[in-house]
Homo-oligomer: A and B are copies of this chain.
Amino acid sequence: MKEKEAYHHGDLEQKILEEALSWIEKENIVSLSLRGIARNLGVSHNAPYRHFPDKESLLIAISIKGFSQLRQTLQQASNNHPDDAQKRLEAIGVAYIEYAVQNQAYYRVMFGERQKNVRSCPALQQVANEAFAVLVNAIKTGQTKEVFIEETTEQLARVCWSLVHGVSMLAIDDQLMISDSDSILELAQIATKVVSQGLSTRAK
């Protein structure tokens, strides 16, 4: 298994990422420290600087990985419902919330307080846009079929994104007075149904 013998780790970069996520899972993002990660991994306190120029870069690396996973998750959900635009939108929404709840550490980093805003990192901006694009495409398709109302596609996508982001964040932060994941899934289904109804051109 070991590719190198001279040092403690074969792939310190990977271990740093894992340890950071596990730390955030157990504690929180505020208490996360590079020194703490190094300590837990048994390496010197400046070993991480061989892989990440600073703490912010570590968080950005996690964000990029997270948005890439999210994009893939949303794309799969979208592909599963090629015919019914309303069901497709709901499936994307539920998949989004499920990703967030099941990958809380990633999600917190992706949307946590950053020193600089998203635009400062083009690679992050790029993959975040790609995830957003899955939603935009689903809505555009529904509009073309005249299943969804005529409104700027991007605006409607922002509405949908906001809803699932709100559910996800409040659920992760335990501010919904419901804790078991069954209830959250139920809420996700109701939420996505409400918004897909709200976007619908058809009477009920």
Contacts and interface: CB of A to CB of B under 8 A. Distances in A.
A176 interface: yes
Chain multiplicity (copies): 2
Contacts of A199: 194, 198
A20 interface: no
A5 to B, nearest CB: 39
A174 B18 CA distance: 28
Contact of A162 (B29, B108, B167): B167
A121 interface: no
A113 B30 contact: yes
Nearest to A154: B177
A161 B151 contact: no
Given A30-B30, A151-B190, 15 more contacts: A28-B113, A31-B115, A112-B113, A113-B113, A117-B173, A155-B186, A156-B194, A158-B170, A158-B187, A159-B187, A162-B163, A162-B191, A163-B163, A166-B166, A195-B195
